[in-house]
Amino acid sequence: MQELGRLEDLPEAYRAALTEQNLVPLWPSLRAVLPPGKPIPRTRPICWPYQGLRSLLLQAGELTPIEKAERRVLVLANPGHGLEKMQASATIYLGMQLLLPGEWAPAHRHTPNAVRMIVEGDGAYTTVEGEKCPMSRGDLILTPTGLWHEHGHDGDQPVVWLDVLDLPLVYYMEASYVTEGKAQTVTSEANDQAYQRGGVVPTPMFNRAGQPFPMLRYPWVDVRAVLEALALSQPDIEAVQVAYVNPETGADCQKILGFSALMLRPGERLQLPARSCAMVFHQIEGGADVSLEGHQFSLAEADTCCIPGYTPVTLANRSKDHAAFVFIADDAPLQKKLGLYEVRT
């Protein structure tokens, strides 16, 4: 590839004249913005083990009352982007949130989309547009763009969950903002039973729901049961994986980030080809090794890691006797809409 002229090759006075008129020569930066073959990611492979994080999060519970935090969160920040940017990848924000018994995180709505993957504890709930969604370990709860949401806790133990948002992208687009609100009136219990079976959907008086987000809570007991059934009924399937979708349309459950649950059968090693999207892995149950060039993470229950795009990765269940379950988040839905999605085999 032809080496291009550098900024220093240009006379000082010429560079000053360019700056004066807010102009910049392209050629000294062309290779940086268009590297050959594949992007140069800022996103580094990083692992956030839960145990260390958990004690600091519980300490935050003592140091900062909920009224002074609104959302008591430690952000899982990727140093490749700079910790202050609060990014796990170019598009993905991750945070671990703590809610203590009796606490309330007030209602608001915002433009970024969020999901919550419940990590530990019982008795907390999120109310999303009046729908009260109980939180249990492994549940996935959506709070899509523009929907009111608040968190409460009637139990007696700390509750912790992983927040996954498309905040870095929405912020970059200068489209990120919040609206504060009053406590919501609960109008319904979580609608998590209406779409229990694939292939059939409710049609009260012949009408489909037609809402953009008909299902807000995906209980882990149900997702786990589907994975077990899939493994049992299709022993030759390449990967025992299910995507969280809109049950009315079959499309990804949110527009920007995609979510799936993967079961690694006892002793299974799964080689994933390089895909253009960065990925987040969060261990729901069991233990898995995540290996990529130059890195290996041993995920234990509740650990979270991220890897950059265009990177082949191998996932291996460390147990020969028990299945391992991994929650995966990526920005494949966004990349597909933009025509940027690639799989390199």
Residues that bind ligand 1HN (CB under 6 A): 71, 73, 95, 97, 105, 110, 114, 149, 163, 165, 167
Tell me the closest approach of the beta carbon of residue 165 to ligand 1HN, in angstroms. 6
Task: Name residue 329's beta-bridge partners.
Answer: 259, 280
Q: Report how far residue 144's alpha carbon sits from residue 165's, in angstroms, rounded to the nearest whole number.
A: 9
Tell me the closest approach of the beta carbon of residue 282 to ligand 1HN, in angstroms. 16
Tell me the closest approach of the beta carbon of residue 178 to ligand 1HN, in angstroms. 7
Q: Which is nearer to ligand 1HN, 46 or 73 (CB)?
A: 73
> Hey, what are 232's tokens?
């049992």
Q: Report how far residue 314's alpha carbon sits from residue 54's, in angstroms, rounded to the nearest whole number.
A: 27
| 248 in Cβ contact with 200 (< 8 Å) | no
Tell me the closest approach of the beta carbon of residue 30 to ligand 1HN, in angstroms. 35
Q: Largest Cα–Cα distance in the chain?
A: 76
* Nearest by Cα to 66 from 33, 90, 93, 98: 98
Q: Which is nearer to ligand 1HN, 42 or 108 (CB)?
A: 108
Tell me the closest approach of the beta carbon of residue 167 to ligand 1HN, in angstroms. 5
Tell me the closest approach of the beta carbon of residue 226 to ligand 1HN, in angstroms. 27
Q: Which is nearer to ligand 1HN, 159 or 290 (CB)?
A: 159
Q: Which is nearer to ligand 1HN, 73 or 119 (CB)?
A: 73
| 161 in Cβ contact with 135 (< 8 Å) | yes
Q: Which is nearer to ligand 1HN, 135 or 313 (CB)?
A: 135
10 Å Cβ neighbour count for 75?
Answer: 18
Helix or strand holding residue 55 (H, E): helix 50-63
Tell me the closest approach of the beta carbon of residue 105 to ligand 1HN, in angstroms. 6
**Sequence-ordered list of residues with C-beta below 8 angstroms from that of 161, at least 6 positions apart, any chain:** 96, 97, 116, 117, 118, 119, 124, 135
Any idea what the Cα angle at residue 17 is, between residues 16 and 23, rounded to 5°?
Answer: 95
Residues recorded for the chain: 345
Q: Which is nearer to ligand 1HN, 141 or 323 (CB)?
A: 141
Tell me the closest approach of the beta carbon of residue 218 to ligand 1HN, in angstroms. 17
Q: Which is nearer to ligand 1HN, 147 or 299 (CB)?
A: 147
Q: Which is nearer to ligand 1HN, 167 or 302 (CB)?
A: 167
Q: Report how far residue 212's alpha carbon sits from residue 250's, in angstroms, rounded to the nearest whole number.
A: 11
**Sequence-ordered list of residues with C-beta below 8 angstroms from that of 133, at least 6 positions apart, any chain:** 125, 126, 127, 139, 141, 190, 192, 216, 217
